[in-house]
């Protein structure tokens, strides 16, 4: 089994729910687990991960993994919102997976709302993490295509095309298919039949 995993998907693809379920199942089976999240993510409290469907678990919130040391008895490390960590934080997780023989399972976004890959996500690919895409459907009414992108909106409903990509929550975002992203972000009209 691979020691380093990256479970990625758009917002609302149940990444945090999957992490919480995995944490529960590992605990239930007697496997020592540590759950980590960036301290930047304080939407539901500093030391907690909460999914949109109401599942939650305790987590150790950290600004970086620079000084992180896994407990020697830990077998599995689960990392939520991994895209908010740095490339050097990912290298630290690689070291833990390879040198300490622990299973490291990361969960997060691949790209931001400007179609740019997050540096930590790119680093996970570069170091050969086993990739697991978590699917969801486009949030444009009536569309059932695979959601692959995010659109960010301002308070008036206009698409935001620049700015800080470290915004929390999903109230100003929609997960959309590539065709709707191109139509709404790049003003490229979809072909009609």
The CATH code of the domain that includes 87 is 3.40.50.300
**Total tally of structural domains belonging to the chain:** 1
81 in catalytic set = yes
Pairing of strands 60-62, 4-8: unpaired
Which of 34, 4, 1 lies closest to 123 in space, CA to CA?
4
- In the chain, what is the straight-line distance between the N-terminal and C-terminal CA atoms, in Å? 46
Among 34, 58, 81, 126, the one annotated catalytic: 81
Whole-structure pTM value: 0.91
Domain with 48, as residue range(s), is: 4-133
Q: What is the pLDDT of residues 70-85, one digit of tens each?
A: 999 999 999 999 999 9
In a domain, 43, yes or no: yes
Q: What is the pLDDT of residues 139-186, one digit of tens each?
A: 999 999 999 999 998 888 899 888 765 555 556 889 999 999 999 999
DSSP per-residue letters across 69-130: ---TT--EEEESSGGGS-HHHHHHHHHHHHHS--EEEEEE-SB-TTS-B-HHHHHHHHTTPE
Q: What pLDDT was estimated at residue 193?
A: 58
């Amino acid at each position: 089994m691979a020691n380093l995993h990256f479970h990625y998907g758009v917002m609302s693809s149940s990444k945090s729910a999957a992490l919480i379920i995995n944490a529960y199942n590992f605990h239930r089976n007697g496997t020592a687990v540590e759950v980590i999240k960036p301290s930047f993510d304080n939407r539901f409290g500093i030391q907690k991960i909460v999914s949109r469907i109401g599942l939650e678990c305790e987590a150790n919130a950290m600004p970086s993994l620079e000084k992180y040391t896994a407990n020697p008895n830990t077998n599995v490390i689960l990392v939520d919102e991994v895209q908010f960590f740095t490339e050097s934080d990912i290298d630290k997780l690689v070291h833990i997976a390879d040198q300490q023989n622990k299973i490291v399972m990361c969960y997060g976004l691949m790209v931001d709302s400007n179609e740019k890959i997050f540096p930590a996500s790119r680093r996970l690919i570069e170091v050969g993490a086993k990739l697991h895409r978590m699917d969801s459907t486009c949030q444009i009414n009536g569309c059932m295509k695979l959601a692959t992108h995010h659109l960010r909106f301002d308070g008036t409903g206009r698409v935001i095309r620049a700015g800080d990509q470290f915004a929390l929550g999903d109230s100003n975002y929609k997960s959309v298919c590539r065709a709707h992203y191109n139509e709404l972000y790049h003003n490229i009209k979809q072909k009609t039949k």
